[in-house]
C-alpha cells in the first residue's frame, strides 16, 4: 500500500525550498534590465504589459499571493526519495482555463479570487445531504501526501499536497444504494473567472467545469481532496480552497475549486470529454500504451526544479505507478476502449 504511516515533523524537501533566493534573483535581474524584456516575451504578454505600466513585478504578486495563503497544520508525509517539483513551478505552471489559457495566466489572473468564505455541497443520492464551510472541511483533519501528477500533455510533477481522503468526505453524506458515480463541479462565477465570461478567453470549454468518478474509484484511499500544498493553503491558481487529486488519472480529472459534489446513478458528463470525446475519455487513467492523438503517452517529461535542461524524460508507468492500489478497480475493463 502506498499510504504509509505518517510521522509528524518529518523533514521533507519542502522545508529546504528557499523562496527568498528566487525572489531576490528576480530583483537582481530586474535591476539589470532583463525582466522587462522577459515579461514581454513570455506568453503572459498581457501580464507583462500591465507590470510594465504599474511598475509591479512578479515578486510583488508573489507577496500578494503569500498574503493570501497561510500555513496549515497537518501530519507530514515521510520523504519517499522522490525529487519534488519546486514550489514556484507548482504554483506558476497551471492549467486552469477559467483564469486564462496560457500556463502562466492563472497565477497572473487569479490573485483576487475570493476563496473564503466557501461552501461545498454534497447532494444527490445520499441519505444525509450536507453543505460544509471551510472550518468544517479543515476539521476533517489534514495530512500530507506526496503524489506524482501526470498531465495528459506528457509532463509530470511530484507534489506534496495537504488534505484528506475523498472517501471521508463522501461518507459524511451517507450515499444510498442508488449511488454509482460521483460528480464534481467547479464554481461558476463569470465575475471572478474571466474564462467563463468570454468564450474566446475560455478556450471552448463549457462552464462550469465538471468531472466525475465511479463511486468505487472515489472511495479508493488514494483519491484525495487537497486544501493545501507545500505546507500552506492552496494558492488560487492551484484550485483553492479545495480540489480533487486522483493521482492515477491524467491531471484534468483533478478538478479545481469545487463547490458541489453529487452522488448519481448515471455516469456524469465530464468537461474534456464533452469538448473532444475522441481525445479524452471518462476514465482517463494514465496508460503508456494508449496514446493521445497529440501526445505519445509512453514517456513523460518530469519537471523537478531548476532552469532549462534540468528536466528528465522518463518512462510513464501504468496508472502512473499506482497500479498496486487501483488496478483491481478495472479488472475486465478494456482500457484501450475505455481510455
Partner 1 sequence: MFLNWLKPNTIQAPHIIGLKTLIHVVSLYLLISTYYLALTGDIGGDPVQTLTHFTGIGAFNLLILTLCVSPLARYLRQGQLLRVRRLIGLYAFVYAACHLYVYVAYDLIYDWTLLVNEIIDRPYITVGFSALLILLALTVTSLPALMRKMGKRWKHLHNLIYVAAILVGIHFLWSVKSDIVEPTLYLGIVAVLLVLRYEKLARYWRR
Give the shortest CB-97-to-partner 1 separation in angstroms: 8
Does 265 belong to an annotated binding site? no
Question: 9, 76 in Cβ contact below 8 A?
Answer: yes
Residue 296 touches partner 1, criterion: CB under 8 A: yes
Give the three-class secondary structure for 264.
strand
41 lies in the binding site for partner 1 (CB under 8 A)? yes
Q: Name residues whose C-beta falls within 8 Å of residue 36's C-beta, 6 or more positions apart in sequence.
A: 30, 52
Measured distance CA(318)–CA(302) in Å, rounded: 16
Residue 105's closest CA among 48, 167, 165, 150?
48
Residue 243 CA neighbour count, 13 Å, CB half:
26
d(CA 309, CA 307): 6
What x/- string results for residues 185 through 224 when contact with partner 1 is judged by CB under 8 A?
A: ---------------x--xxx-------------------
317 binds partner 1, rule: CB under 8 A: no
Tell me how many residues contact partner 1 (CB under 8 A).
45
Options 101-109, 128-136, 210-218, 227-235: segment touching partner 1 (CB under 8 A): 101-109
Report whether 65 contacts 283 (CB < 8 A).
no
Among 167, 295, 317, 329, binds partner 1 (CB under 8 A): 295
Q: Which is closer to partner 1, CB of 81 or CB of 293?
A: 293
Annotated binding-site residue? 68: no
C-alpha cell belonging to residue 270: 465530464
**238 labeled binding residue:** yes
The C-alpha atoms of residue 305 and residue 289 are separated, in whole angstroms, by 28
C-beta closer to partner 1: residue 84 or 223 = 84
* SS3 of residue 314 by DSSP: strand
Beta-strand relationship, 299-302 and 312-315? antiparallel
Q: Quick one: which H or E segment has residue 291?
A: none
Closest CA to 225 of 270, 268, 170: 170
What does the per-residue mask of binding to partner 1 show for 223-262, with x meaning CB under 8 A?
----------------------------------------
Ligand-binding annotation for 176, yes or no, is no
Nearest approach, Cβ of residue 225 and partner 1 (Å): 24
Tell me how far, at minimum, the Cβ of 59 lies from partner 1, in Å. 11
Query: What is the maximum alpha-carbon separation in the chain?
Result: 65
Q: Using CB under 8 A, which of 12, 44, 109, 297 touches partner 1? A: 44
Q: How far is the CB of 73 from partner 1 (least distance, A)?
A: 29
Closer to partner 1 by CB, 30 or 180: give it: 30
CB nearer partner 1, residue 121 or residue 153: 153
Cβ-Cβ contacts under 8 Å for 308 (sequence gap 6 or more):
none
On whether the CB atoms of residues 186 and 192 are closer than 8 A, the answer is no
Which residues ranging from 53 to 92 are in contact with partner 1 (CB under 8 A)? 58, 89, 92
Asked if 164 contacts 141 with a C-beta cutoff of 8 angstroms, the reply is yes
CB of 88 to partner 1, least distance (A): 8
Q: Which is nearer to partner 1, 29 or 259 (CB)?
A: 29
Q: What is the dihedral of CA 187, 190, 194, 197, to 10 degrees?
A: 130
Q: Residues within the annotated binding site for Mo-molybdopterin?
A: 94, 97-98, 151, 186, 238, 243, 254-256
Contacts with partner 1 by CB under 8 A lie at 25-26, 29, 34-35, 37-38, 41-44, 58, 89, 92-94, 97, 101, 103-104, 107, 153, 155, 200, 203-205, 275-276, 291, 293-296, 298-299, 301, 303, 306-309, 311-313
Amino acid at each position: 500500500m502506498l499510504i504509509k504511516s505518517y510521522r509528524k515533523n518529518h523533514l521533507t524537501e519542502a522545508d529546504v525550498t528557499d523562496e527568498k533566493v528566487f525572489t531576490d534573483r528576480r530583483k537582481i535581474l530586474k535591476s539589470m534590465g532583463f525582466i522587462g524584456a522577459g515579461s514581454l516575451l513570455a506568453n503572459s504578454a498581457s501580464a507583462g504589459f500591465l507590470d510594465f505600466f504599474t511598475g509591479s513585478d512578479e515578486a510583488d504578486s508573489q507577496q500578494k499571493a503569500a498574503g493570501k495563503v497561510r500555513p496549515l497544520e497537518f501530519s507530514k508525509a515521510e520523504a519517499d526519495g522522490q525529487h519534488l517539483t519546486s514550489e514556484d513551478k507548482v504554483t506558476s505552471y497551471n492549467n486552469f482555463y477559467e483564469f486564462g489559457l496560457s500556463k502562466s495566466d492563472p497565477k497572473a489572473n487569479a490573485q483576487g479570487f475570493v476563496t473564503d468564505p466557501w461552501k461545498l455541497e454534497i447532494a444527490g443520492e445520499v441519505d444525509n445531504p450536507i453543505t460544509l464551510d471551510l472550518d468544517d472541511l479543515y476539521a476533517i483533519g489534514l495530512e500530507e501526501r506526496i503524489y506524482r501528477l501526470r498531465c495528459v500533455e506528457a509532463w509530470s510533477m511530484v507534489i506534496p499536497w495537504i488534505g484528506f481522503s475523498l472517501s471521508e468526505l463522501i461518507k459524511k453524506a451517507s450515499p444510498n444504494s442508488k449511488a454509482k458515480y460521483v460528480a464534481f463541479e467547479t464554481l461558476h462565477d463569470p465575475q471572478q473567472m474571466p474564462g467563463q465570461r468570454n468564450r474566446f478567453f475560455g478556450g471552448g470549454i463549457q462552464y462550469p467545469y465538471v468531472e466525475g468518478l465511479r463511486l468505487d474509484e472515489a472511495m479508493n484511499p488514494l483519491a484525495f481532496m487537497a486544501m493545501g500544498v507545500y505546507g500552506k493553503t492552496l494558492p488560487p491558481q492551484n484550485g483553492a480552497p479545495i480540489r480533487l487529486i486522483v493521482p492515477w488519472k491524467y491531471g484534468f480529472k483533478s478538478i479545481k475549486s469545487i463547490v458541489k459534489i453529487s452522488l448519481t446513478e448515471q455516469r456524469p458528463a465530464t468537461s474534456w470529454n464533452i469538448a473532444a470525446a475522441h481525445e479524452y475519455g471518462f476514465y482517463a487513467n494514465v496508460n503508456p500504451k494508449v496514446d493521445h492523438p497529440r501526445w505519445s503517452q509512453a514517456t513523460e517529461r518530469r519537471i523537478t526544479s531548476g532552469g532549462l535542461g534540468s528536466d528528465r524524460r522518463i518512462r510513464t508507468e501504468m496508472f502512473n505507478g499506482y497500479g498496486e492500489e487501483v488496478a483491481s478497480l478495472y479488472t475486465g475493463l478494456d482500457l484501450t476502449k475505455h481510455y
